[in-house]
Structure 1
């Protein structure tokens, strides 16, 4: 119908945001051009419509009169949603009648009749009438380009701003490609005049230089993103920091970018963020089983979420529309009550969470009830429903969900919040007059006001603003009230007729408190505010509630509602920033201490290869064997082993677990047969030495001696130690540490100022490698080879240095020292997965390092603290899930590493869950315009 305009629209849609390497951005079928004339024309049109995602109607009086247009529209509405039909007005007029909820039949002149009644609300349409009058249309004309962006945005599933950004980026990329092509052609022309060999060499050099430049640019970009992420985190936006960290990993997936992202993830208690088409969240409710979340928004929609997997909540079905200022689930979770504008309250059957069904008509309210419903609450027995709003409070008997009966109206006047006590006998209503009223609800049809307004409420020592939220503790003895005066108060309501305020008002929020909620145990209170924060309070002592830590930050606008899941492990908050955030209260991303520390004057610890046995050396001259099958409840196996005349400060197992060696401060070493861990047997007599190390084959034991030498012992004869050859000599200082490489061919010996590597392939005649192998060190107290044997970690004063020892004669230092400890390094250990290194220090901490890239190791999270003194040794369990750390002051702490392991293996998913999404196209281009856009988080 629009012979000139239609082709221009088709071309503009196909060219907008088109990558240079594609013929078109979209495939646009036009019914007067894309099909050849044939007898089966309609069947071809049907097939084309079936294959299309959207229908664009160029609306005009001529189109409205066309039977072909009417037939196409009618077919589309019968097989597709009207939401996928876009209208572009080219001539005539369109008028929407709000009262009728349809297009005005009198004033609309350009739509086929089949479209009347097809839309539930007024659809957005594009006005192209001015474009029709232009002789030569171009997609770069501002007016036409703007209209085409309006039309193309839904086709690309992008906001209009993002589409513009994509179009600009693709245009710039095409221009860069053209310039690069011209430059290459010019370069080729020059190359034709020089020798071919020189040309090829120059080309290779240029390509190499370009790659180096590209890599340097990427490094600069990801470090800029890290700096921006740090700034966002410091300003209280960890979600933005996670988005930037995800972009950095997408650009350059290395240990540095992953460690920065881990730091962001570890630094926030946000578990996941829900932003899938949520409006400004006004209220929330969670079912008693914790599986379903309902969010009510100011946009008059209720969105339902499956919380079975807290890390990845799933949106359920389509939003419920209607009155949604307030939501509440019945105790059994089978009914949802929603209340909102114009006094409307609706009950929904939640038997099928994906398809909630409306139960009867809305609850009948008095004619005077035309204002906002601000709160709804079920009594614990599920038979009574109370609503509060601008016009007061109403109570319904909802025993028959399909036929609720209004039974009472306890009070008039604005009610902002309400809550039933756990026994259902009391209803608390928070009013706009700075007061809370308690009602006896034993007979819901006859509520009785209990006592006077609690002493101190009306501006004397109580709230000086409207009470907008109330919550009972699970035992019903305490009531919390949140107010627009920025404070929270706790009340003892054991005697309902005489409430007494407990302690001083809780202060900390800098703006109005919008909602309060107790955790299931009643000892934790959460409050949210228009200051965009969440505060947790310890209410164990009701008269002296204490704030826990700093306020939780993550929302970017007012926080309106708060709720705990029934298990108390997750806090859910929603706000005007159109997000719902799930907060993890168990801190699952950090290593967790397992059980109570093992005590008994312990100075050293080592796991047996079976992972079930832990052996500790003690200051009481004994060696203890522990069963750690249950890491939370270790217990002693058998009696302590004796034989050392002084402290036992070193323990080592042979790889088969059948032989163990222990060393003492008295400079003696004892070898034990551990075939039966209940009855270890001493093998031979103690020998002189302190530090010790088993070769991987378990047949050789290295022991250092007081004369700066190392002696090798053969244990192949049923474990009985037999000296091998002559001592290893030539060490310039006392030996402090030793370690065998995994292949058993190399022994590293460290002392005060150097490390010597020995080739021990021939145990009887070891050969020194290099002279010296690694020099220029001040103090080496610990050594460890990586599982592949190519890297040696050296604890050097306060730092750890990694060395490449793949060429044993020429060790090469790798990267910069690992810094973070503030005192001497006492121990270093690699996990068997090669990517994790643990270091301990006299600063009483343990630090975990990601050494995936040995040239750029990065610290994982904050140091592990809680050790009472020096941490003298660290040891990984064979499966890498547990770390044992022994302290100078007689304790061993076991650390569960599953949190950090799970975080490393699911880093992108966790970061995406926290952020809720990746950077949008427009945000990406505004932040990193020189990098091609990447979708960093898949759609939920």
Structure 2
């Protein structure tokens, strides 16, 4: 029998499954029972979960604890009896310690000590010559009962503690009571002393706390000021690099928003996000990225590096993420990539004079297929291309022996066993790039130097040259593409670096389409055509990607310039759905671009006025989803635009320049003819039933002008409650619409210097802003019977004022004028203060403020509609890209979610602004998903003195 120095008074052996709650409570109770106040514990009890540290040998640690224990406390139950660990612990004890030192605590089952007891482990059954000491805890079924204050549990703890400490139970209980009383007495004494000390300390510390609070507040103010300064600096830096480095601009925008939250930093970040199609940067290659390719199913993106590895990326609308391990095997740079049409096979061409096929059905476990394709010379494989049916693979490149047959075509019906297809000698040199026509019968080839021609591959046994060749200084020396219909060829990289479209409808008489384009800086060595054949991506010598609209070869135009790469762009590729573009190059990165404009305002529908020669004029929305649209010279059409727009009715008024205005509740329509001379030209209509409008009253009598002619309306505005109508010409009058059939003029009139062009009520209806020629007048109309014009404190604007509007709180006034757009703080209407510089300095023809006062839309003289974020009036920011095809800005819907513009054809387009609104609400999370946070080195550069923060955590 082993003997060793004891470290533990007892060892608890138990089933974790059954007694995982009871065992800890029992351990605690034994350690506290009759504990003197000055000792940490009365007994030292071993329990595995509290006394075992992590280590390589579990049993050896338990065995050492058993060796150092005086007693074994067994929590017996049928569950514990089946535990091999409990049985092993008991067996060890019986071999090395006396049975009399085993204390049984029954937690479940029956205790038959002199027979085959199911509650005892096998090694202990029949071991007792007489009934041993045991404690019954079977009554303890509820976890809520395992509480040290439970008197029944305390009684059982006393039984066990008395046995372990070998003290009579009554003596031990008495000692427990005595120690408890002593502890309470000492506690009361200590509390009394502490109270006295606390009173003295409080008196002494009040001043210290006050001084500390002042110091903390001063430190916090200093830190806040420092963070604010750094944030403003970051915003200024983001403004400078927004067009050239969108990734860093987004990172700076997020950091500024975190350092100093507010409208200024948030609107700056929205400007960065909405103004660029940048969607993320992929890293992982050591050196330059020479090739990128999307799988036809759109699920994968492959990138190939100069170091000879391929990375696979899972693609979704939010960007791309790495999958699987890098594909390795090439010993030199990979020059080209291509997926098979079924997306199951990837081919790589390399400067190591081989091409390899890979099974990428499971991108996380991609594997090589067969042996490498060989037969190429020092230049290696120039490009790789699958035919549209996936049966043929073209791998042009330098051949081993000049004049010999190159391994240009392969039959890959079985990708694991490609078979070379005999191909005629190239009479003009090595074939570098090829493209299959959609029907698979023709192969277009581009040859090193200055030659391009076609091959008839309809009969693979008799491939022959079947077309033209282009030679001369303007011939292609770079990339070549075919449009999806196979009727147009695109070549790039000619001697003047231009890109050219060619008509292939007659292969024997190929002719250029339009003129070469991109001659100023386009490199032309990388080309990619969108799946619909309408957009061409090229590269330039300034590290940019250029997007060209090529749907009309006779009028190719540059659509957008994508900046962000810091070195030469080697390759570009469109996703199969045409919504995403990948570009990569010498900066060892792949950048993703959204070319679908999905986060830009989207056209909901286009409303075409009735009649082929009719053109839309002004519009007016109601909160009920009704749109009034001026059409031609004498008609206003009513449209229900709540779901699918539909024309409900129209009203006609003789004259020209008929303009509509709807009341806020959508029940009243005002139409007026600004050219009328014999009356006001202003009519009121009941449109409560939009399908059956009825005239409420004839032309209003606005009185006579100084020459005796009847006055006529030039502009109107409803008060917010719809009960008052303001009518403007050189004289502005207010009318009560309490009885819509009998409008009543209210009080005196006030005159303007010139024709009133725009009117707007303040949200409380007590002020009226009037745009009159180049001037703005703010009138007090709190008493509509006596409207009073304040002095003109706004000064003269450049050109006519087209639009005025109030913010929802009434504290800001905005004006869109012919010269520029301006915002004023009118908290004190008598002394308005202009917010910063004008929003626009270019000539503006029209504009509109959104009712929520977050956006102003202006129509530039060049015909583009531009949106500005005015949530921070002192620093408005341009958001989104110009709305295409919008020739005129008309009005916002009452919920600010829709904008109406006119088209050059005279129709009205309704734009959904929800994508921009979503971007406003989620700007930080969107930016973090695209660009991530500044790293520590960047933070130290952009935020000196401020501790590093991961602003995307």
How do 1:249-648 residues align onto structure 2 when only pairs under 5 Å count? 249-275=257-283, 280-309=288-317, 311-323=318-330, 324-340=334-350, 342-359=352-369, 361-363=370-372, 365=374, 372-391=380-399, 392-408=406-422, 415-432=431-448, 434-436=450-452, 438-444=454-460, 446=461, 448-450=463-465, 454-456=469-471, 462=475, 467-483=477-493, 485=495, 486-488=497-499, 490=501, 493=504, 508=519, 513-528=524-539, 532-537=543-548, 539=550, 546=556, 548=558, 551-588=561-598, 590-591=600-601, 595=606, 600=614, 603-611=617-625, 613-617=626-630, 620-628=633-641, 636-642=647-653, 647-648=657-658
Query: How far apart are the structure 1 equivalents of 2:329 and 2:455?
Result: 30
Deviation at 1:295, TM superposition (A): 1.8
Do the aligned partners of residues 232 and 348 (structure 1) sit closer, same or farther apart at CA in structure 2, a change above 3 Å counting?
A: same
Instruction: Give 1:720's aligned residue.
Output: 741
Q: Secondary structure at the match of 1:225?
A: helix
Do the aligned partners of residues 746 and 307 (structure 1) sit closer, same or farther apart at CA in structure 2, a change above 3 Å counting?
A: same
Deviation at 1:794, TM superposition (A): 4.6
CA contact (8 A) 2:633 2:655 kept: no
Instruction: Give 1:852's aligned residue.
Output: 871
Question: In the alignment, which of 661, 664, 670 is matched to residue 655 of structure 1?
Answer: 664
Query: How far apart are the structure 1 equivalents of 2:622 and 2:555?
Result: 47
Query: How far apart are the structure 2 equivalents of 1:469 and 1:890?
Result: 42
Deviation at 1:450, TM superposition (A): 0.9
Question: In the alignment, which of 823, 828, 831 is matched to residue 851 of structure 2?
Answer: 831
Query: How far apart are the structure 2 equivalents of 1:371 and 1:847?
Result: 50
Instruction: Give 1:96's aligned residue.
Output: none
CA contact (8 A) 2:423 2:463 kept: no
Deviation at 1:424, TM superposition (A): 1.8
Query: How far apart are the structure 2 equivalents of 1:908 and 1:39?
Result: 44
Do the aligned partners of residues 347 and 937 (structure 1) sit closer, same or farther apart at CA in structure 2, a change above 3 Å counting?
A: farther
Question: In the alignment, which of 829, 840, 850 is matched to residue 820 of structure 1?
Answer: 840
CA contact (8 A) 1:450 1:497 kept: no
How do 1:872-911 residues align onto structure 2 when only pairs under 5 Å count? 874-885=890-901, 894-908=910-924, 911=927
Q: Secondary structure at the match of 1:687?
A: coil
Deviation at 1:735, TM superposition (A): 6.3
Query: How far apart are the structure 2 equivalents of 1:472 and 1:800?
Result: 47
Q: Secondary structure at the match of 2:651?
A: coil
Tell me if 1:919 matches 2:934: yes
Deviation at 1:674, TM superposition (A): 0.8
| Cα RMSD after superposing both structures | 4.7
Q: Secondary structure at the match of 2:390?
A: coil
Query: How far apart are the structure 2 equivalents of 1:256 and 1:321?
Result: 48
Q: Secondary structure at the match of 2:950?
A: coil
CA contact (8 A) 2:825 2:835 kept: no
Question: In the alignment, which of 806, 810, 835 is matched to residue 785 of structure 1?
Answer: 806
Deviation at 1:296, TM superposition (A): 1.9
Deviation at 1:922, TM superposition (A): 0.9
Q: Secondary structure at the match of 2:856?
A: strand
Q: Secondary structure at the match of 2:781?
A: strand
How do 1:633-712 residues align onto structure 2 when only pairs under 5 Å count? 636-642=647-653, 647-649=657-659, 651-665=660-674, 666=676, 667-689=680-702, 690=713, 691-703=715-727, 708=731, 710-712=733-735
How do 1:230-241 residues align onto structure 2 when only pairs under 5 Å count? 230-232=239-241, 236-241=244-249
Query: How far apart are the structure 2 equivalents of 1:828 and 1:266?
Result: 20
* Structure 1 unaligned spans of 5+: 1-35, 48-191
Deviation at 1:747, TM superposition (A): 5.3
Q: Deviations over 1:533-558 (max 9, x none)?
A: 3344555566x684525754332222
Do the aligned partners of residues 317 and 658 (structure 1) sit closer, same or farther apart at CA in structure 2, a change above 3 Å counting?
A: farther
Do the aligned partners of residues 208 and 537 (structure 1) sit closer, same or farther apart at CA in structure 2, a change above 3 Å counting?
A: same
Do the aligned partners of residues 496 and 673 (structure 1) sit closer, same or farther apart at CA in structure 2, a change above 3 Å counting?
A: closer
Q: Deviations over 1:295-331 (max 9, x none)?
A: 222233222233331x423333333333354321111
Query: How far apart are the structure 2 equivalents of 1:355 and 1:891?
Result: 54
Query: How far apart are the structure 2 equivalents of 1:418 and 1:842?
Result: 46
Deviation at 1:855, TM superposition (A): 4.7
Q: Deviations over 1:887-923 (max 9, x none)?
A: 9998755444344334433434554566x44432212
Instruction: Give 2:778's aligned residue.
Output: 755
Deviation at 1:335, TM superposition (A): 1.9
| Count of paired positions | 727
Q: Secondary structure at the match of 2:537?
A: strand
Do the aligned partners of residues 250 and 435 (structure 1) sit closer, same or farther apart at CA in structure 2, a change above 3 Å counting?
A: farther
Query: How far apart are the structure 2 equivalents of 1:568 and 1:357?
Result: 29
Instruction: Give 1:930's aligned residue.
Output: 945
Do the aligned partners of residues 580 and 346 (structure 1) sit closer, same or farther apart at CA in structure 2, a change above 3 Å counting?
A: same
Query: How far apart are the structure 1 equivalents of 2:513 and 2:729?
Result: 68
How do 1:109-120 residues align onto structure 2 when only pairs under 5 Å count? none
Query: How far apart are the structure 1 equivalents of 2:539 and 2:876?
Result: 40
Query: How far apart are the structure 2 equivalents of 1:46 and 1:835?
Result: 71
CA contact (8 A) 1:284 1:326 kept: yes
Deviation at 1:495, TM superposition (A): 5.9
- The higher radius of gyration belongs to 2
Q: Secondary structure at the match of 1:637?
A: strand
Deviation at 1:672, TM superposition (A): 1.5
* Structure 2 unaligned spans of 5+: 1-49, 62-202, 400-405, 703-712
CA contact (8 A) 1:437 1:449 kept: no
Instruction: Give 2:760's aligned residue.
Output: 739
Instruction: Give 1:136's aligned residue.
Output: none
Q: Secondary structure at the match of 1:638?
A: strand
CA contact (8 A) 1:801 1:813 kept: no
Instruction: Give 1:186's aligned residue.
Output: none
Do the aligned partners of residues 243 and 750 (structure 1) sit closer, same or farther apart at CA in structure 2, a change above 3 Å counting?
A: same
Do the aligned partners of residues 377 and 601 (structure 1) sit closer, same or farther apart at CA in structure 2, a change above 3 Å counting?
A: closer
Q: Secondary structure at the match of 1:362?
A: strand
Query: How far apart are the structure 2 equivalents of 1:859 and 1:287?
Result: 36
CA contact (8 A) 2:456 2:466 kept: no
TM-score, with structure 1 as normaliser? 0.66
Deviation at 1:588, TM superposition (A): 4.7
CA contact (8 A) 1:377 1:419 kept: yes
